[in-house]
């Protein structure tokens, strides 16, 4: 089993609906260690840069608008197979397809307003963690 890091975001709907604590508690219960954590209001250019791989998708504008509509919580999670573990805890992108008990099944409204983001691979995780956090100062 590999110890990995992954980026998690509690999206604006999760923050506005008061689920930060429940989401963090779930990660800790599942054995993921919170190595860094910050609450921020993303700018349009920060959100565009973060989601650059989706720039050509028809929902890109909607995605950026939503991700800048209110504060988000950024976290670095660490643990055994953290990338896939976090994806299992989140459930499918579309809450209607997400398994019972997953964060998106429990808390999300739609594919767009889906409460949490998680890196989709170790390569994406490295890029996404570097995008928001400094290895030297933020990871404890
Ligand atoms: P996330 O894991 O943050 O990465 C890309 C996001 O795009 C995804 O979660 C969804 O919230 C969003 N997304 C994917 N498909 C759609 C869609 N059809 N309409 C709106 N947003 C979408």
For the stretch 62-72, pLDDT in tens is 999 999 999 99
Please give the DSSP secondary-structure letter assigned to residue 86: H
The residue contributing the CA closest to ligand 1 atom 4 is 117
1 pLDDT more than 90 = no
Q: Is there a catalytic annotation at residue 117?
A: yes
The whole-model pTM stands at: 0.97
Which residues, 6+ apart, have CB-to-CB distance to 40 below 8 Å? 71, 72, 74
Rounded to the nearest integer, the mean pLDDT of the chain is 97
Q: pLDDT tens across 83-96, in order? A: 999 999 999 999 99
CA of 25 to the centre of ligand 1 (A): 24
At 138, the pLDDT band (50, 70, 90 cuts) reads: confident
Question: Ligand 1 in contact with 63 (CB < 6 A)?
Answer: yes
């Amino acid at each position: 089993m590999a110890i990995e890091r992954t980026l998690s975001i509690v999206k604006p709907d999760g923050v506005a609906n008061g689920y930060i604590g429940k989401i963090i508690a779930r990660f800790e219960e599942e054995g993921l260690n919170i190595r860094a954590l910050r609450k921020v209001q993303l700018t349009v250019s920060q959100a565009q840069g973060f989601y650059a791989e989706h720039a050509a998708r028809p929902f890109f504008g909607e995605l950026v608008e939503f991700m800048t509509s209110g504060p988000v919580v950024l976290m670095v999670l660490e643990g055994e197979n953290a990338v896939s573990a976090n994806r299992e805890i989140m459930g499918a992108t579309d809450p209607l397809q997400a398994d019972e008990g997953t964060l998106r099944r429990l808390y999300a409204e739609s594919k767009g307003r889906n409460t949490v983001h998680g890196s989709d691979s170790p390569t994406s995780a490295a890029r996404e963690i570097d995008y928001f956090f400094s290895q030297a100062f933020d990871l404890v």
